[in-house]
Structure 1
Amino acid sequence: MRTISDVSTGGDRSTVGIAIADGILHFELALAYELFSAVADRYDLMICGAGPVRADGRFLLEPDHGLDRLVEADTVIVPGWAELDVDPPADLVAAVRAAHEAGARIASLCTGAFVLAAAGLLDGRRATTHWLYADALAARYPRIDVDPDVLYVDEGSVLTSAGKAAAMDLCLHLVRLDQGSVVANAIARRLVVQPHRPGGQAQFVTTPVPEPHDRPFSELLAWAAQRLNEPLTVDDLARRANLSTRHLGRHFRSATGTTPLQWLLTQRIRRAQELLETTDDSMDAIAGATGMGTATTLRRHFGRTVGVTPGTYRRTFRSQAPPTGA
């Protein structure tokens, strides 16, 4: 079994700065620190603050560096912010703005979006935050296109996430962008979380989520994941689960937040990413192995979902993963 260190040798190091100040939420801070520390051979991690900081009003934290060091980071993470009834500290806002102007990618977790908003980084952009505070963000900063219904929003140099678990999704998304799906999936396995949830997935669903002991549905997902090379349809899944297609659709939506076809496409794309990173298989072979039939279909779906062609993706990440069987 490969470890994270096995799949993360080589490649350029990147600096991640986590910006902290009094009023920061410790959960998102600890989450980001744990996740990026899991691939310490790929990231230099800095905790930056103006001095000793109280998180959640209880935990006293000593930063490694001053806020001025954020301008040296390739990525700046702003954890959740508790004091929503007051403006964030001016020195924190100025440091985040300066880092962005210096070329850093800025990502907020949960209510950290209020810090980005105060810095003017979300003006004219689509953004999200925890759904409980989305109305407050939109009211205070009307120039932001606030979307309360998604897990995270990637606007290129500025990214925002919803709360808690969605913050993990965004951090894994950043690692996937930087290091590829093999490394991101290895971190997810270590942290025992889902490797990939698309940012457009709903923050919550109103229908009950199946209990963990719902074995038939779990077995259906496992069965389908082992047959991605086959042209599976919704009818195939419904027959396997002994459900009507309508009932299957409702069950899928409540459990995964998406439709059966979209779930299948996501699994196919993830498998294609792994094959592009870890094998020299041709595009036609990868298309066949992922149930997309032809290289043309693969390129169309891959480009629409990932944002680059399969060839570009392979050139970017192929050197960062060992050959299959390593």
Structure 2
Amino acid sequence: MRPFKYTNTNSSSDAINLLIKNPNASYLAGGTNLIDLMKEDVEKPNELIDLTRLALTKIALLPTGQNGISIGALGKNTEAANHPMIREQYPLLSKAILAGASAQIRNMATNGGNLLQRTRCSYFYDTAMPCNKRNPGSGCAAKDGFNRMHAIFGWSEECVAVYPSDMAVALSALDANIKVIQPDGKFRSISIHDFHRLPEQQPELDNTLKRGELISSIELPKNDFANHSAYIKVRDRNSYAFALVSVAAGVVLNGNRIVSAHIAMGGVAHKPWRARKAEALLKGKMATVANFELAAQAEMEQAKPLAQNKFKVAMGKNTIVSALSMATKGT
């Protein structure tokens, strides 16, 4: 690990000013991803600006007139997953968080930091290999290399890596908004669907945050599918493993008819993949396995698998069907 300066701060404005002043500085929250990357010489900040003293940890109802809750960006993943309001009103999020990492990491990792995780692509971590995300213009070793874990949707010639967060997949299905503090002190809100990027020609850019912007909270609008939601994560081992495919699903029902479906996938793209085609086909249909299969098939027909991950197409279809079946039953 390279030497770095460690700086404490007590206010968001100070933190933002420090980051803008030093183009090689990085924010530090839980550090569960950043420190690993520094140890591997992938990330090379010369200054870490510690955010942990900032008062951005609260989970609370949104202001009057806005139905939903706000989750502080610097709150721990464990606190969010086990908070009574989240377990009751947003169990999908609780399930997704608890499916990620280990208990020890969830106790350290922050909600905002979870959104900023970088890919776990082995070529990204190996500084001896070309990687456009780590070193723009060097090439993508994964595209024609070992790509079993990689994308089947939305990849480009520049990058085929996938985004690793479980939490963000649930947030996508929940239509969350990310509230950030701008360098001028004003706030802006970014839809979770616009927060993360597809790789296109700039895979080094994971999200749409601007330099100096600081995530303050995650806002969840009220939903009508708390009792009809499910999160399924398919992985190589039962714990501390990233998803081959995951699905967050919520359905609003009128009897056995689907009023609306909310489906997001993980492990398949550079960002949480919202299954819009499947959702559209399910609207107004009866909640039957046959209809789930038709919708899942239509979604997965858009997939463009790589040489070693064609199995993800069938796996994705089956996982969508299973998640919808579980959600409909209210399990």
Judge same fold: TM > 0.5, yes or no: no
TM-score w.r.t. the length of structure 2 is 0.28
TM-score by length of 1: 0.29
Larger helix proportion, structure 1 or 2? 1
Greater C-alpha radius of gyration: 1
In proportion to residue count, which structure has more strand? 2
Greater RCO (Cα-Cα under 8 Å, separation 6 or more):
2
